[in-house]
Amino acid sequence: MKNSIRGALKSLDRLGRLDHERLHALVQSLVKENEQLEIVLSSIPGGVLVTDSQHHIIMINKPARRFLPLSTVDPADNPAWEVIASADLSTFFRTALEEDRGAAMRDFPVSHRNRNRTLSCGVLPLVDRGSIVGNMFYIEDVTELREEEARLKRAEGLASLTTMAAGVAHEIKNPLASMSIHLQLMRRQMQGDCASAEDLTESLEIL
């Protein structure tokens, strides 16, 4: 796809020498390439946002529009971070773009369209012939995944608490059982005729 677009652009340099039929075929080829690219981007479940070397948005797919809170500023006249209406995401993207480096995936809590989401976002530089010509943002909705992880963590915590409680109960139960036996013995000694102060004192010392 990339090579065919390059070929088409080279043909544009010779536009003055193209006849009408060849010009029409060239335009149709560019349109088809663009449509195929849009189909690919729309088929990706994650959000994709592409910027040029000036940090302006040149492409954004439907999931990205659905996930990201976008401001009303004109993306053609403003850098990508000013188009994103989330302070944390805007700072994350701006840092990655201005420093000309990628950024590993990070989670961000985002409130958009009356829904709270957890978005995992990363930045990948687009390199052509050794030079950075733009950047690609990848946005994944990990809300359900993080909620499930939190549920599992809570369940593990409850299981650990239950195990600890059972151990404590066992440690308490053993001395109580011993005390119960000696109390029963004392009661019998006190009820019997042969109970002596020495016997009772011995039982109390054991307790």
Helix (H, G, I), strand (E, B) or coil at 49: strand
State percent of the chain over pLDDT 90: 20
What is the distance in angstroms between the CA of the first residue and the CA of the last residue of the chain? 87
Q: Considering the chain, what is the average pLDDT of its residues?
A: 76
Residue 173 is predicted with a pLDDT of 57
Residues in the chain: 207
**4-49 confidence digits (pLDDT tens):** 555 555 555 555 555 677 777 777 777 777 666 677 666 677 899 9
Contact 71, 62 (CB under 8 A): no
**Per residue in 145-193, pLDDT tens?**
888 888 888 877 777 777 776 666 656 656 656 666 666 665 665 655 5
How many Å apart are CA 84 and CA 97, to the nearest integer?
14
The pLDDT of residue 183 is 63
Q: Do the Cβ atoms of 96 and 103 come closer than 8 Å? A: yes
pLDDT at 121: 93
**Bridge partners, 57 (sequence order):** 51
Average pLDDT (62-66) is: 90
Cβ atoms within 10 Å, residue 51 = 25
Q: Is 117 within 8 Å of 104 (Cβ atoms)?
A: no
Provide the angle, in degrees to the nearest 10, between the axes of the packed helices 20-43 and 2-13: 150
Q: Is this structure's pTM higher than 0.75?
A: no
Identify the residue with better confidence: 26 or 127: 127
What local confidence, expressed as pLDDT, does residue 150 receive?
Answer: 81
Contact between 120 and 139 under an 8 Å Cβ cutoff? The reply is yes
What is the pLDDT confidence band of residue 92, given thresholds at 50, 70 and 90? very high
